[in-house]
Amino acid sequence: MDLVGACRAFVSVSERGSFTVGAAAARMSQSVASRRVAALEERFGEQLFERTSRRAVLTPFGREMLPVARQLVQAADVLLHEAEAAKRKPWRLAVPGICSTAGLARLVAEARGHGITLDLRVAAPAQRLELIHAQQVRAALLAVPADEATWSVPLGLAGVQEPGVRRVYLETLRVGRAAPGPAR
Protein backbone atom coordinates (compact mmCIF):
# COMPACT_ATOMS: atom_id res chain seq x y z
CA MET A 1 0.00 0.00 0.00
CA ASP A 2 1.19 3.50 -0.87
CA LEU A 3 0.74 5.09 2.56
CA VAL A 4 1.42 8.65 1.40
CA GLY A 5 -0.92 8.31 -1.59
CA ALA A 6 -3.62 6.82 0.63
CA CYS A 7 -3.24 9.61 3.18
CA ARG A 8 -3.27 12.20 0.38
CA ALA A 9 -6.62 10.78 -0.83
CA PHE A 10 -7.95 10.62 2.74
CA VAL A 11 -7.02 14.25 3.47
CA SER A 12 -8.36 15.56 0.18
CA VAL A 13 -11.69 13.72 0.48
CA SER A 14 -12.09 14.80 4.11
CA GLU A 15 -11.44 18.46 3.25
CA ARG A 16 -14.03 18.43 0.47
CA GLY A 17 -16.60 16.03 1.90
CA SER A 18 -16.84 14.13 -1.38
CA PHE A 19 -14.86 11.33 -3.00
CA THR A 20 -15.44 12.77 -6.47
CA VAL A 21 -14.39 16.33 -5.63
CA GLY A 22 -11.60 15.22 -3.26
CA ALA A 23 -10.16 12.85 -5.85
CA ALA A 24 -10.18 15.55 -8.51
CA ALA A 25 -8.41 17.97 -6.15
CA ALA A 26 -5.78 15.31 -5.45
CA ARG A 27 -5.40 14.70 -9.20
CA MET A 28 -6.58 11.12 -9.17
CA SER A 29 -9.68 9.34 -10.30
CA GLN A 30 -12.56 8.77 -7.91
CA SER A 31 -12.03 5.01 -8.08
CA VAL A 32 -8.34 5.36 -7.18
CA ALA A 33 -9.17 7.64 -4.23
CA SER A 34 -11.82 5.20 -3.07
CA ARG A 35 -9.44 2.22 -3.31
CA ARG A 36 -6.70 4.09 -1.46
CA VAL A 37 -9.01 5.13 1.37
CA ALA A 38 -10.39 1.57 1.56
CA ALA A 39 -6.83 0.20 1.81
CA LEU A 40 -6.10 2.68 4.60
CA GLU A 41 -9.28 1.65 6.43
CA GLU A 42 -8.34 -2.01 6.05
CA ARG A 43 -4.85 -1.32 7.37
CA PHE A 44 -6.22 0.59 10.39
CA GLY A 45 -9.08 -1.83 10.97
CA GLU A 46 -11.52 1.07 11.32
CA GLN A 47 -13.64 3.14 8.97
CA LEU A 48 -12.51 6.69 8.27
CA PHE A 49 -15.73 7.86 6.58
CA GLU A 50 -19.44 7.30 6.80
CA ARG A 51 -20.39 7.16 3.16
CA THR A 52 -23.72 8.36 1.83
CA SER A 53 -24.75 8.71 -1.78
CA ARG A 54 -23.72 12.38 -1.82
CA ARG A 55 -21.27 12.95 1.05
CA ALA A 56 -18.32 11.43 2.83
CA VAL A 57 -18.43 12.35 6.52
CA LEU A 58 -15.54 11.63 8.86
CA THR A 59 -16.14 9.06 11.58
CA PRO A 60 -14.80 9.84 15.07
CA PHE A 61 -11.81 7.60 14.22
CA GLY A 62 -11.33 9.51 10.96
CA ARG A 63 -11.29 12.83 12.85
CA GLU A 64 -8.59 11.41 15.15
CA MET A 65 -6.43 10.26 12.22
CA LEU A 66 -6.82 13.35 10.02
CA PRO A 67 -4.21 15.63 11.71
CA VAL A 68 -1.52 12.94 11.55
CA ALA A 69 -2.41 12.10 7.93
CA ARG A 70 -2.07 15.82 7.08
CA GLN A 71 1.36 15.89 8.73
CA LEU A 72 2.47 12.86 6.71
CA VAL A 73 1.30 14.40 3.42
CA GLN A 74 2.99 17.71 4.25
CA ALA A 75 6.24 15.94 5.21
CA ALA A 76 6.16 13.96 1.95
CA ASP A 77 5.63 17.18 -0.03
CA VAL A 78 8.57 18.84 1.74
CA LEU A 79 10.74 15.79 1.03
CA LEU A 80 9.85 15.86 -2.68
CA HIS A 81 10.53 19.60 -2.84
CA GLU A 82 13.91 19.21 -1.12
CA ALA A 83 14.88 16.34 -3.42
CA GLU A 84 14.17 18.48 -6.49
CA ALA A 85 16.13 21.38 -5.01
CA ALA A 86 19.07 19.08 -4.17
CA LYS A 87 19.15 17.78 -7.73
CA ARG A 88 19.49 21.34 -9.01
CA LYS A 89 22.31 22.21 -6.62
CA PRO A 90 25.77 22.17 -8.12
CA TRP A 91 28.08 19.28 -7.33
CA ARG A 92 31.15 20.89 -5.75
CA LEU A 93 34.46 19.38 -6.79
CA ALA A 94 37.88 20.56 -5.57
CA VAL A 95 40.50 20.39 -8.31
CA PRO A 96 44.22 21.12 -8.53
CA GLY A 97 45.35 24.44 -9.92
CA ILE A 98 47.43 22.67 -12.59
CA CYS A 99 44.32 21.57 -14.49
CA SER A 100 43.95 23.32 -17.83
CA THR A 101 41.01 25.63 -18.33
CA ALA A 102 40.07 23.80 -21.53
CA GLY A 103 40.17 20.43 -19.77
CA LEU A 104 38.04 21.68 -16.90
CA ALA A 105 35.59 23.21 -19.38
CA ARG A 106 35.28 19.80 -21.11
CA LEU A 107 34.70 18.15 -17.73
CA VAL A 108 31.97 20.67 -16.85
CA ALA A 109 30.36 20.23 -20.28
CA GLU A 110 30.46 16.44 -20.00
CA ALA A 111 28.90 16.56 -16.54
CA ARG A 112 26.18 18.90 -17.77
CA GLY A 113 25.43 16.39 -20.51
CA HIS A 114 24.68 13.88 -17.75
CA GLY A 115 22.45 16.31 -15.87
CA ILE A 116 25.11 17.24 -13.30
CA THR A 117 26.10 20.83 -12.62
CA LEU A 118 29.70 21.05 -11.43
CA ASP A 119 30.99 23.86 -9.26
CA LEU A 120 34.77 23.58 -9.44
CA ARG A 121 36.91 24.88 -6.59
CA VAL A 122 40.59 25.27 -7.45
CA ALA A 123 42.69 24.56 -4.37
CA ALA A 124 46.12 23.39 -3.29
CA PRO A 125 46.46 19.75 -2.13
CA ALA A 126 46.15 20.53 1.59
CA GLN A 127 43.21 22.85 0.96
CA ARG A 128 41.42 20.19 -1.11
CA LEU A 129 41.72 17.75 1.77
CA GLU A 130 40.51 20.41 4.19
CA LEU A 131 37.51 21.19 1.94
CA ILE A 132 36.57 17.50 1.97
CA HIS A 133 36.81 17.21 5.76
CA ALA A 134 34.79 20.42 6.22
CA GLN A 135 32.18 19.04 3.77
CA GLN A 136 32.44 22.17 1.65
CA VAL A 137 32.88 20.00 -1.45
CA ARG A 138 31.45 16.59 -2.31
CA ALA A 139 34.69 15.32 -3.79
CA ALA A 140 38.26 16.36 -4.50
CA LEU A 141 40.99 15.19 -6.79
CA LEU A 142 43.83 14.17 -4.48
CA ALA A 143 47.18 12.65 -5.31
CA VAL A 144 47.78 9.40 -3.44
CA PRO A 145 50.82 7.17 -3.91
CA ALA A 146 49.77 3.92 -5.60
CA ASP A 147 50.92 1.78 -2.67
CA GLU A 148 48.76 3.82 -0.24
CA ALA A 149 45.57 3.83 -2.32
CA THR A 150 42.78 1.78 -0.76
CA TRP A 151 40.75 1.56 -3.96
CA SER A 152 40.86 2.76 -7.53
CA VAL A 153 38.41 3.49 -10.31
CA PRO A 154 38.78 4.32 -13.97
CA LEU A 155 38.71 8.09 -14.25
CA GLY A 156 35.93 9.89 -16.05
CA LEU A 157 32.29 10.60 -15.34
CA ALA A 158 30.11 7.66 -14.44
CA GLY A 159 27.16 7.09 -16.71
CA VAL A 160 25.92 5.28 -19.74
CA GLN A 161 27.85 6.30 -22.81
CA GLU A 162 25.81 7.17 -25.85
CA PRO A 163 27.40 6.68 -29.25
CA GLY A 164 29.38 9.72 -30.26
CA VAL A 165 29.71 11.08 -26.71
CA ARG A 166 33.21 12.27 -25.93
CA ARG A 167 34.83 11.10 -22.71
CA VAL A 168 36.98 13.31 -20.52
CA TYR A 169 39.93 11.71 -18.74
CA LEU A 170 41.95 13.12 -15.89
CA GLU A 171 45.21 13.04 -17.81
CA THR A 172 43.71 15.49 -20.31
CA LEU A 173 43.22 18.00 -17.49
CA ARG A 174 46.95 18.35 -16.78
CA VAL A 175 48.89 20.82 -18.87
CA GLY A 176 51.25 19.11 -21.32
CA ARG A 177 50.03 15.56 -20.53
CA ALA A 178 47.53 15.02 -23.32
CA ALA A 179 48.39 14.69 -26.97
CA PRO A 180 46.52 17.09 -29.22
CA GLY A 181 43.82 15.56 -31.33
CA PRO A 182 40.38 14.09 -30.85
CA ALA A 183 39.18 13.57 -27.29
CA ARG A 184 38.93 10.01 -26.07
- Give the residue from 28, 2, 1, 4 showing the smallest Cα distance to 76: 4
pTM recorded for the entire structure: 0.54
Q: What is the mean pLDDT of residues 118-146?
A: 86
Shared domain for 130 and 68, answered yes or no, is no
Higher model confidence: residue 72 or residue 111? 72
Does 178 map to a domain? no
Given a cut of 90, whether residue 38 has pLDDT beyond it is yes
Q: How many domains is the chain partitioned into structurally?
A: 2
CATH number (domain holding residue 63): 1.10.10.10
One domain for residues 159 and 100: yes
**Per-state percent for the chain, helix, strand, coil, to nearest 5:** 50, 10, 40
Nearest Cα to Cα of residue 112 among 88, 79, 133: 88
Share of residues in the chain with pLDDT > 90 (%): 48
Residues 160 and 122 in one domain: yes
Question: Which residues 6+ apart lie within 8 Å of 100 measured at CB?
Answer: 172, 173, 174, 175
What was the pLDDT predicted at 181? 52
Residue 184 covered by a domain: no
Structural domain harbouring 162: 89-144+153-173
The pLDDT of residue 184? 44
Q: Does 62 share its domain with 29?
A: yes
pLDDT greater than 90 at residue 182:
no
pLDDT value at 155 more than 90: no
Q: Is the pLDDT of residue 42 over 80?
A: yes
107 and 74 together in one domain = no
183 is a domain residue: no
DSSP helix/strand/coil, 129: helix
Examine the domain organization and report whether 77 and 132 are in the same domain: no
Kindly report the number of other CB atoms within 10 A of residue 48's CB atom: 24
- The residues facing 93 across adjacent strands are 120, 139
Q: Which residues pair with 140 in a beta bridge?
A: 94
Burial status of residue 147 (CB atoms within 10 A of its CB: 0-12, 13-18, 19 or more)? exposed
Q: Which of 61, 83, 105 is the last residue of a domain?
A: 83
CA–CA distance, 155 with 159 (Å, rounded to integer) = 12
Q: Do both 14 and 39 map to the same domain?
A: yes
Q: What phi-psi label fits residue 83: left (phi over 0), alpha (psi between -120 and 50 degrees) or beta? A: alpha
Cα distances (Å, whole numbers) of residue 11 to 8, 99, 142: 5, 55, 51
Question: In this structure, is residue 93 part of a structural domain?
Answer: yes
Residue 22 placed within a domain:
yes
